[in-house]
Structure 1
Amino acid sequence: MKDKTIDYILRATWQAVARMYNEEASKYDASMATGFALLSIDKEGGTPSTALGPKMGMEATSLTRTLKSMEDKGLIVRKKNPDDGRGVLIYLTDFGKEKRALSKSTVLQFNEAVKHNISEEKLQHFIEVSETINELILEKNIFTNSSVSEMTHQTENTEN
């Protein structure tokens, strides 16, 4: 673990989680993206289609494919936004609400398994570290000139 970079650990872990969710979702003719979309759509009031991409961290083209597939399977319906005629609201169908409950239960089962195997203190540290990494990225504090020159200086010192 010592030689692995932080980004490698994050990427490998996320890929394992995604693979696990996709394997589980495939039992129900779905995908992780479908489950995530079901959980991101307001189950009563619907959700503007334009809000889903940013909420899910998905590119528009991937989201469009996911929503089309969900519509074809009868999980969602699209309706014009009554407050903004140009916009579209995405609503869950009754079938979509059933699958949403299944997705929610799957996520909760994963969370419980992790909580059962990792102490509350370690989970809290994990959350704090993740939040700090996100803040560094959002504040664009990773590749600033000062951080790059500090990193170069540290690398030179360790090599000598």
Structure 2
Amino acid sequence: MNSTSCEALHLDNQLCFALYSTSLAMNKLYKPLLAKLGLTYPQYLMMLVLWEEDGITSTAVGKRLHQDLGALSPVLKRLDAQGLLERRRSSDDERKVLLFLTPAGKALQQQAQSLPHSVLCASGLNIEQVVSLKQQLDSLRLTLNGDGHG
């Protein structure tokens, strides 16, 4: 078999590589923006969840981020050490740990307000294109996770 007969196996024809390399580029874009806030990308994602819903369980954060608790635990510890969140046992169920933003964690939200616009500008896409692309990616993720209707 020669190399031209395996078009399906060319790197540039792989959806997985397009997603992977785009993810790397996105992380590279975010890195200096988040450095100004003192956050890594995983920390930023966790803060986004907490800015939406303060006082939720780490399990709920994991579900929102599609991550297991083992991967989230070190991120939680760093955010706690940075004074951005605190972990408290639930008074209803001692087994549950609730995550609450500190005043510093809440104040950081204001500093992060410009990030989505910066990323939109860097993407070269208009808002309609971004919405469409995000919908396609959400649909793909649901299908790959077995939650889609396709």
Q: Which has the larger radius of gyration?
A: 1
1:9 maps to amino acid: A
TM-score norm. by structure 2 comes to 0.76
Residue matched to 2:56:
47
Aligned to 1:100: 109
Where structure 1 has 5 or more consecutive residues not aligned to the other structure, the ranges are 142-160
Matched, 1:32 2:8: no
1:6-155 mapped onto 2 (5 Å cutoff): 6-42=15-51, 45-111=54-120, 113-114=122-123, 117-119=124-126, 122-139=129-146
1:17-45 deviation line (CA, Å, top 9, x unaligned): 11221232223332111111111115664
Unmatched 5+ stretches in structure 2: 1-10
How far the C-alpha of 1:8 sits from its partner, in A, is 0.7
Q: 1:127 to 1:65 in 2, by over 3 A?
A: closer
Change (3 A) 1:84 1:105: farther
Rounded to whole Å, the distance in 2 between the matches of 1:6 and 1:88 is: 38
How does the TM-score come out when normalised to structure 1? 0.72
CA 1:109/1:49 → structure 2, altered by over 3 Å: closer, same or farther?
same
Identity across aligned pairs (percent)? 22
Cα drift, residue 102 of structure 1: 2.5
Which secondary structure state, in structure 2, belongs to the residue aligned with residue 30 of structure 1?
coil
Q: Which amino acid aligns with 1:30?
A: L
User: Does the 8 Å CA contact 1:39/1:104 hold for their aligned counterparts?
Assistant: no
State the Cα RMSD in Å: 2.7
